[in-house]
Amino acid sequence: MNYVLESVVEAERLETQNKNELYSVEEELKGIEFSNGEKIIDIGCGTGAVSAEILKKNLQVDLTAIDISEIRIQQAKNLLPTYYKDMIKFQCLDLMDDTLPENSFDVVISRFVLHHLEEPLQMLISMKRVLKPGGRLIIIDSDGILHNYFCTDQWLMDCLSRIKEGMKLDMYIGRKLKSYYNYIELENIDVKMIPMHFKNESLTAEVNQYRERFSIMRDFFIDLLGQTDTDNFFSLYLKYLEKDSAELFYNKFVAVGHKI
Interacting residues toward ligand SAM by CB under 6 A:
5, 14, 18, 43-46, 49-50, 66-69, 72, 94-96, 111-113, 116
For the CB of residue 73, give the shortest distance to ligand SAM in the complex, in Å.
Answer: 9
HSE-CB for 159 with a 13 A CA cutoff: 25
Residue whose CB is less far from ligand SAM, 43 or 131? 43
d(CA 17, CA 161): 25
For the CB of residue 109, give the shortest distance to ligand SAM in the complex, in Å.
Answer: 9
Residue whose CB is less far from ligand SAM, 198 or 240? 198
Residue whose CB is less far from ligand SAM, 116 or 132? 116
Residue whose CB is less far from ligand SAM, 1 or 236? 1
For the CB of residue 5, give the shortest distance to ligand SAM in the complex, in Å.
Answer: 5
d(CA 205, CA 97): 36
State the burial class of residue 179 (Cβ atoms within 10 Å of its Cβ: 0-12, 13-18, 19+): exposed
d(CA 137, CA 130): 10
The SS3 assignment for 38 reads coil
Residue whose CB is less far from ligand SAM, 19 or 243? 19
Please choose, from the candidates 88, 86, 82, the residue with its C-alpha nearest in 3D space to the C-alpha of residue 62: 88
For the CB of residue 28, give the shortest distance to ligand SAM in the complex, in Å.
Answer: 9
Name the closest residue to ligand SAM (Cβ): 46
CB atoms inside a 10 Å sphere around CB 156: 20
Residue whose CB is less far from ligand SAM, 115 or 239? 115
For the CB of residue 143, give the shortest distance to ligand SAM in the complex, in Å.
Answer: 15
Number of H helices, E strands in the chain: 12, 8
Residue whose CB is less far from ligand SAM, 75 or 148? 75
d(CA 164, CA 151): 16
For the CB of residue 138, give the shortest distance to ligand SAM in the complex, in Å.
Answer: 12
State the burial class of residue 91 (Cβ atoms within 10 Å of its Cβ: 0-12, 13-18, 19+): middle
